[in-house]
Structure 1
Amino acid sequence: MREQGRIEPSRRRQRFTSVHLWCATGTSLAALIISVISFVILQQDPHVDVMLPAALRIAAGSNWIRVYLQPTLSTRQNTDSVDVVSTLKLKMNSTTPDSSAPHFIWDQTGKWEYDLKLDKLLYSPVSDPAPMVVGRNTPQGPVARFSANGWGIQPGRYEGVLEVHRVASSQVLLQHFCVYLSERDVTQMKDPRSGGKYATFRNDDPDSASAAYRGCYVREAGLRPEPDLTSEAHS
């Protein structure tokens, strides 16, 4: 009887030791799996999100046009990897039949500076176009100026697309939008007395256009063209 009493606690200890060992092994394995999954996720290529602003600005003359656009380039993925945006391209096509399209180039990057006296944002050039690193902690918001010469803007609706070219993928990211210009808009921008001023167009003003152009960038109601600080705006 005494031997049986000594055997029972010994067996219980063995079972406890085995269960404890399996629990410890299972916990370690689960931790390893979680670590591997986390490592894989953090090493994934970031998916770059492209968002267009509520406002864009256009300056134009008889045979030239400038479009000022500040997209937001970011990623929502929880990853330590980064992507590089090599360049931005802009296309705008009129919906009017037999109309030609401007050939834009991204010719400079600038910034908006608030002028207290004029109570307006004024554009100032900063640098030539350059690649941009986009990561979880490094979103980008370049003020890109797109220029096209030898082309005169006409009234009507334009279908536009911003192309975002990346290093990590050959797939070009496309962000579509539309712009509507009235006869008055074009006349004011082409007026030689405007001196290269730009006009602001918004896509979030429900009172600035008819329902036919809702969602497009349209001229801010009641506003005149704003000054462009760059003297080479029409060069």
Structure 2
Amino acid sequence: MSSDETTSPDMHEQRRSHFDLAHSWANTVAGVAALFLAAFNFFTIHREPDVDVSLPHIVRLGQGSEEVWVYLQPTVSTKRNTEKVELVNAVKLDIRHSDKNVSRPTFFWDESGTLRYDPKSHESNYHKLSDPVPFFVGTGKPQQPLLLFTATGWDFKPGRYEGTLTLERESESAPLTKSFCLTIEKEDISRIKSSSYWSFRNDLPTKKPDSSAEFKDCYVLSQY
């Protein structure tokens, strides 16, 4: 009998031992990976939502004899895939004139509504939907409430305004804030008073060349 034939059973047993060891290690690695993946998925779907707010391209202004109105429709969304939701329980609007001698209005969230297009008049009319109630924000469910803010005993003056929209949350997270600027010219005042509201936009294709710095990125009266 040759030496190869006498050692072949030992070699076969050795190869089998190596295979079993490798298989055992593979199972262990696979188990650890599965455990890590499960823990990662659990953490992902149970983490706090990363809520973000963005402003629309249109802000609507109105003015009565004793009140002024601002219609604002932000988009509130979450950037994380999570089962948790965020509750926005208050929204505040602050607008201040660049001239410190102009009084500062106190706006409050009056109600939420919607715009319905009238094909006969070719205008969008505002309709109330609800009182100022908290709303939830979750994954795949961005919110776009049309918010009506009211200030009494005050009226718009020509000039540049700096505005801040603040969303307060039920969680311990810091409030969400978004800043913007608004420019009102002298001739705009009569237009604001002549209708229920007038649209101001921050995405107009052309702006006045003689005051580009003042109008840059600001909401200005739209005549479209």
Fold in common (TM above 0.5): yes
Q: Distance in 2 between matches of 1:146 and 1:20?
A: 67
Q: Provide the rounded CA distance (Å) in 2 between the counterparts of 1:130 and 1:98.
A: 34
Aligned residue for 1:201? 200
Deviations, residues 83-126 of structure 1 (Å, cap 9, x unaligned):
11111100000001311111011010000111111222211111
5 Å-filtered alignment, 1:61-72, equals 61-72=64-75
Per the alignment, residue 152 of structure 1 pairs with 155
Summarize the alignment of residues 127-166 of structure 1 with structure 2, pairs less than 5 Å apart: 127-166=130-169
Aligned amino acid, residue 81 of structure 1 = K
Q: Secondary structure at the match of 1:39?
A: helix
Q: Of residues 37, 44, 48 in structure 2, which corresponds to 1:45?
A: 48
Rounded Cα–Cα distance in structure 2 between residues aligned with 1:178 and 1:206? 17
Aligned residues: 218
Give the TM-score taking structure 1 as reference length: 0.88
Distance 2:99 2:83 in 1: 46
2:221 to 219, 222, 228: 219
Partner of 2:82: 79
User: Counterpart amino acid of 2:69?
Assistant: R
Counterpart of 1:100? 103
Q: Does 1:177 align with 2:180?
A: yes
1:125-181 superposed Cα distances (whole Å, 9 cap, x missing partner): 111011111011221000000000011211111100000111123411110001111
TM-score (norm 2): 0.92
Secondary structure of 2:70's match? strand
Pairwise CA RMSD: 1.5
- Distance in 2 between the 1:61 and 1:135 partners? 37
Task: Tell me whether 1:9 sits opposite 2:8 in the alignment.
Answer: no
Give the secondary-structure state (helix, strand or coil) at the position aligned to 1:32: helix
Contact 1:44 1:81 in 2 (8 A): yes
Equivalents in 1 of 2:205, 2:103: separation in Å?
30
Rg (Cα) greater in structure? 2
Which SS does the other structure have where 2:105 is aligned? coil
% identity of equivalent residues? 38
Give the Cα–Cα distance (whole angstroms) in 2 for the partners of residues 58 and 151 of structure 1.
13
> Which residue of the partner structure matches residue 233 of structure 1?
none
List runs of 5+ in structure 2 lacking aligned partners. none
Range with bigger deviation, 169-178 or 158-167: 169-178
Gap regions ≥5 residues in structure 1 = 224-235
The alignment status of 1:88 with 2:91, answered yes or no, reads: yes
Q: Does the 8 Å contact 1:55/1:201 carry over to 2?
A: yes
**Are the counterparts in 2 of residues 45 and 168 from structure 1 also a CA contact under 8 Å?**
no
Letter in 1 for 2:204: D
What residue is the counterpart of 1:36 in the other structure? 39
Moved more, 47-56 or 2-11: 2-11
In structure 1, how many angstroms separate the alpha carbons of the residues matched to 2:112 and 2:103? 26
Q: Distance in 2 between matches of 1:169 and 1:185?
A: 41
CA contact (8 A) 2:184 2:221 kept: yes
